[in-house]
Structure 1
Amino acid sequence: MSLSVPRPSGSPLTGSQALRLLVLRNYLVFRRAWKIFLTGFLEPVFYLLSIGIGVGQLIDSFEFNGETVPYAAFVAPAMLAASAFNGALLDSTYNVFFKLKYDKLYDQILATPLTTGDIARSEIVWGQLRGGSYSAAFLLVMLAMGLVDSWWALLALPAALLIGFAFSAVCMALTTFMTSWQDFDKVTLVQVPLFLFSATFFPITALDGWLRWVVECTPLYRGVVLCRELTTGAVSWASVVSVVYLVAMGAVGLLVVRRRLDALLLT
């Protein structure tokens, strides 16, 4: 049996006003928990130092799109993409699930003139800001270490934001289908293989046949390729493919989130 929830009266906010209000709410909640943000930044830095620099001492160089690059310069943009991926995923799964199922925050928001669309957009933007902050800090580390070889790298931060948008939207959509904390074991089951097998530490040419095709179709691989081409200057048509892929992924995720929140909160 479903009950229709009456919408409150009042003047609705514009989309930008609602977005600013809800993002500000997230900022006020997290500003005292700023140490949480350090983990998302330090993890890719540690990977870069241990694998990109440490293992890189055993590897002379890599060839990528016809360009010869040091191993550290090969791994660093992958860590840039992974930092945006991890930030967006963590914020759009665990935090959204708690707000939806336990804190009932979204029910409270809908007691105001705000809509489910406002909720979806604000949470996705907040996930982007979190993932983007990790990526911006990591990009500065790459620059300080001399791992940026092209002016194309100016587009690496927008690329990281695009990765964050795509994963924030899709992860939030998937979270609306979760019913318990045990479901988050499935998040790890997907997160770890994506991180390890998206050409983060080795070129895609190391894989053959159907496995290579599967990896090339995964979203994190598209993000890794996009960031790697921008920071090394070896830009190709694969960059356009990656941008279209991630934009489409984010748009579909946003549409599903809106419909799922309508189904869960308004009926």
Structure 2
Amino acid sequence: MRLLVLRNYLVYRDAWKLFLTGFLEPVLYLLSIGIGVGQLIDTFEFNGRQVPYAEFVAPAMLAASAFNGALLDSTFNVFFKLKFIKLYDQLLATPLTTGDIARSEILWGQLRGGSYSLAFLLVMLAMGLIDSWWAVLAFPAALLIGFAFSAVCMALTTYMTSWQDFDKVTLVQVPLFLFSATFFPVTAFDGWLRWVVECTPLYRGVVLCRELTTGALSWDSAISVVYLLVMGLVGLLVVRRRLDALLLT
């Protein structure tokens, strides 16, 4: 398993610009919307506390950075290895198992998403957008978000048959990013629509990061941890079974 992670590192070692793009996107959103639009908005009420708009948006971008890093590696790269270069078929000629392959790819997605999240946390700290010591748990929270999305996205990728299927990835990625209470409170939604938003995985990640960085903790954080952990474990189980079906039969 360690060797497959090392292989990914060696492949990407000279492609550091790809990592920069994944990190810069949420930073640019923070600067343009969190800071720019924040000049027009005073504060938001969050869990009974008044929070400056930039501090409201920043943890959402932290969750989004973990989400983006995990999604990129667990979809495009996994599909290429699985369907085109047949890397996993070659690996199974060694003592590695499908479980090793699944865990290795998810771990690599974690490392990529975690690097984005750590760098973004440092940006938040430098900009004075962290208001609580609970923020020390924001990085583990981002890793949990990365784990959940890496596992589920890799599982879904095993069902894809062509590059056109990646249009569906964008169709899911963009609404999740825009409507997971990233730029405005979930109270902006009414009735069943709010319930739908609260059930989405990125919303659970946004709430977790937001409560930790602002210190406005509630039971939503505990619910989010359980939700994301179960999501990741179910995704890992599906990946293992799908790889067995695709590569061992």
TM range (shorter): over 0.9
2:211 paired residue number: 229
Structure 1 vs Structure 2: percent identity of aligned residues? 89
Deviation (angstroms), 1:67: 1.0
1:42 paired residue number: 24
1:52 paired residue number: 34
2:149 paired residue number: 167
Deviation (angstroms), 1:21: 1.3
- 1:105 corresponds to 2:96: no
2:110 paired residue number: 128
Unpaired segments ≥5 residues, structure 2: none
Q: Deviations over 1:174-214 (max 9, x none)?
A: 00000000000000000000000000000000100000000
Larger Rg: 1
1:64 paired residue number: 46
- 1:203 corresponds to 2:185: yes
Aligned length: 249
Deviation (angstroms), 1:20: 1.4
Rounded Cα–Cα distance in structure 2 between residues aligned with 1:141 and 1:218? 27
Tell me which amino acid in the other structure corresponds to 2:190: D
Q: Name the SS of the counterpart of 1:163 in structure 2.
A: helix
Q: Name the SS of the counterpart of 1:88 in structure 2.
A: helix
- 1:154 corresponds to 2:154: no
Q: Deviations over 1:130-169 (max 9, x none)?
A: 0000000000000000000000000000000000000000
Q: Name the SS of the counterpart of 2:14 in structure 1.
A: helix
1:9 paired residue number: none
- 1:22 corresponds to 2:1: no
Deviation (angstroms), 1:122: 0.3
TM-score (norm 2): 1.00
1:244 paired residue number: 226
Aligned counterpart for 1:90 among listed residues 64, 72, 91: 72
1:3 paired residue number: none
Tell me which amino acid in the other structure corresponds to 1:36: L
